[in-house]
Structure 1
């Protein structure tokens, strides 16, 4: 999990789109990359308060990990087609084969299920175990073509301020110092709904 902008975005989306309080039997949320660091506990509390039964997963066993799942492998049988809300915060950039991971994520999500993806666009190199990718909205459209974004925003760091999604926000927030252009840290947040015929 990354920073405090992630639960802040999801809380705002729940309020605006009224997707909290899922019906019984359609309320399984899976948080991936969830070893209890960063803001995982905030996210768990937010989802449980919203009416979700929360499971956590990570690539290896650890504190706060319910299910060990490497996204480059098929989902465990107990998750196949069962996840109503898939939460991935600051995870996909650390997966070497992100295309395979996207296919496996889709297998876990039920028809009409929701994905919350928070991924870096402009960010420093950071290991866990390594750092492979950066994503824009067009990247997520390619990875998840059988889903559509219903909410999208940027956030900056370290202040975790949320911004309305604009294609060129990185340029608008850039600064030039001594003739060198610097871009701000930007994290992309998207809530996506799987199409009925996934």
Structure 2
């Protein structure tokens, strides 16, 4: 799924003000889980930048840890721990998305490959059923986008993290992460 997304990297040239600007990414090391077919997205406004994941990795407990990066100490939020048992010696995360929480705290999120800038049409967004979210440990996600692809490729299934709920008038604008 990620390989078809890579061709879209930084090709966001849609001038439509109605689209939602997002950073789309895949998590590493979840290929053998039920979440392998999903991508994730954050609002562009919440993302500070993406960097190569430093060789000195954060020590995580239940997917949360801290890491010193330059003069700052960051909270590292590793979503993979919600879906798989991660061996720290086999971590294949290559990048770290630095993002701001709603409170303004800078955090890091390990991801598989470089993220992609994408404009998402609000008409492709739908609510995720609560029962599905609870069973699959997705309580932090309430919506997903089903984005069609060219040719016979299956649509991208993108779980939206930190976006305002889409309203019926489609006047949605994204917010920072909670």
TM score, norm. by length of structure 1: 0.30
- Greater fraction helix: 1
- Greater fraction strand: 2
